[in-house]
Amino acid sequence: MLVVFTAASNLADGVIKMTLPLLATQLTHSPAQVTAVSLALMLPWLLTALHIGVLVDRLDRRRLLWAASALRLAAVAWPASGGRLSLTGLIAAGVVLGVADVLAGTTGSALVVAAVPPAGREKANTWMAGAETVCQEFTGPFLGGLLLAAGTGFALGATWVTYALSALSLFLLAGRFKARHPEAAAAGTSVHAEIGEGLRHLWQQTLLRTMALILTVLCTVWGAWLALIPLYAQQDMGLDARGYGILLSALGVGGLVGALTVTWINRLIGVRWALLLDLVGTAAMAGAPALTVNVWAVAAGAFLGGMGGTLWTVNARTIAQRLVPDRLQGRYNAASRLLSWGAMPLGAGLVGLLAQVAGSRTAFGVLAVGTLVSLIPFLRVVTPAALRDPASDT
């Protein structure tokens, strides 16, 4: 049922993350203002992740998923009911949806450790990552384009219903919903002390720390790409909402291929090279629009980015779940995602300013170069020896 909840909620997320920026382009032609809407969706990872991580380790995790669903329903209800659209309203809805995303993402990852034995976690992470990528990056944007063609109210109403159905699926979720040993909370330790424990666990392990920092770069690029591509697709590539949805769905197709092949790729070339494919794919995703406005070339780059993203997600989660105890899963995931997903709003904000000054194609080129630079620490630290016995590399 956790996979069902993940699939349904990410399907709705995919529609929303396409819909809100496109609605913003109807209100303004400023790159900075359009990217502000995408920034609002991602900013909560930077501002709320650490405190939400403490909640995940203290409270009933299924109830937290319900709370995330309630926030999503509330955020979509106003524009879906026909409320007057404004940039302020779109940004406010984005912030609420972003908080819900932090809550659901951190909680869902923690529940995998509780529900699945170590031998089955790669498969479980594959299903989860596949559902996230396919629904949010492929089916969601494609469906969003079709729904927007039928009308904004129809698209938002369908999204609200999907969020509601995902919340109902949680009633069928069976198992244990609290961390095994919440000693810190039981002893009355402060929230800041608990946050510090999660940060230390991440920072004291060289492999996890380096992977988190590299993912920070990758997520900065992803945040910037997702924020800038709506306006680029509309103004430079000449795509309508349906064409943009098809373009963005190439991310999901790549993610689906990654989910279907991750186990085979791991066995064929090893986890290290599977992780490396994400760096190559992200560089291609960012570099393609810097070189051409051809929709097929840009879609091919997005495909490689989506595939690499799934390969990284599955393997990185499996490695972390092996190294981090259940009682720290919420705080560790929050700390890791603060460094990585928290960088997405920074990328979204900076690329808007860069595109305003230097142009969109130059901005995409800078993103590609930044991704390639991260190859240096990856090759030095993420070695076969470290991956075989990561616990010894501290």
The predicted pLDDT at position 377 comes to 94
Percent of the chain with pLDDT over 90: 21
Average pLDDT over residues 312-340: 83
Q: Extract the tokens encoding 247.
A: 């373009």
H-helix segments, the chain:
2-27, 31-58, 61-80, 87-115, 121-133, 140-150, 152-169, 183-186, 191-203, 206-235, 241-269, 271-291, 295-323, 329-340, 343-358, 360-373, 375-381, 384-388
The predicted pLDDT at position 289 comes to 93
Percent of the chain with pLDDT over 70: 89
Average pLDDT over residues 6-21: 81
Question: Has residue 218 got a pLDDT over 80?
Answer: yes
Highest mean pLDDT among 83-97, 190-204, 270-284: 270-284
Of 26-35, 63-72, 224-233, minimum mean pLDDT range: 26-35
Question: Has residue 175 got a pLDDT over 70?
Answer: no
Of 169-178, 317-326, 347-356, minimum mean pLDDT range: 169-178
Cα(166)–Cα(178) distance, rounded to whole angstroms?
21
Phi, psi torsion values for 177, nearest 5 degrees: -115, 5
Average pLDDT over residues 201-230: 88
Confidence band (pLDDT; 50, 70, 90) for 376?
very high
Give me the domains of the chain, ranges plus CATH numbers.
2-171+190-389 (1.20.1250.20)
Q: What is the pTM of this model?
A: 0.72
Q: Which position has the higher pLDDT, 364 or 142?
A: 364
The angle, 0 to 180 degrees and rounded to 10, between the axes of the packed helices 121-133 and 87-115 is 160
Confidence band (pLDDT; 50, 70, 90) for 115?
low
Question: Has residue 368 got a pLDDT over 70?
Answer: yes
Return the closest-CA partner of residue 262 out of 304, 196, 307.
Answer: 307
Return the closest-CA partner of residue 19 out of 112, 136, 133, 102.
Answer: 136
Q: Average pLDDT over the chain, rounded to whole?
A: 82
The predicted pLDDT at position 188 comes to 60
Q: How many CB atoms lie within 10 A of CB 84?
A: 7
The predicted pLDDT at position 392 comes to 45
Average pLDDT over residues 20-24: 80
Return the closest-CA partner of residue 49 out of 211, 172, 189, 219.
Answer: 219
Confidence band (pLDDT; 50, 70, 90) for 184?
very low
pLDDT digit string, tens, across residues 119-161:
777 777 787 777 776 777 667 767 777 777 777 777 788 888 8
Cα(96)–Cα(72) distance, rounded to whole angstroms?
7
The predicted pLDDT at position 80 comes to 64
Question: Has residue 105 got a pLDDT over 70?
Answer: yes
DSSP 79-108: HHTTPPP-HHHHHHHHHHHHHHHHHHHHHH
The predicted pLDDT at position 389 comes to 58
CB 91 within 8 A of CB 36: yes
Phi, psi torsion values for 244, nearest 5 degrees: -65, -40
Return the closest-CA partner of residue 57 out of 153, 186, 227, 209.
Answer: 186
- CB within 8 A of 117, min separation 6: which ones? none
Question: Has residue 225 got a pLDDT over 70?
Answer: yes
Question: Has residue 186 got a pLDDT over 70?
Answer: no
Question: Has residue 318 got a pLDDT over 80?
Answer: yes
The predicted pLDDT at position 238 comes to 85
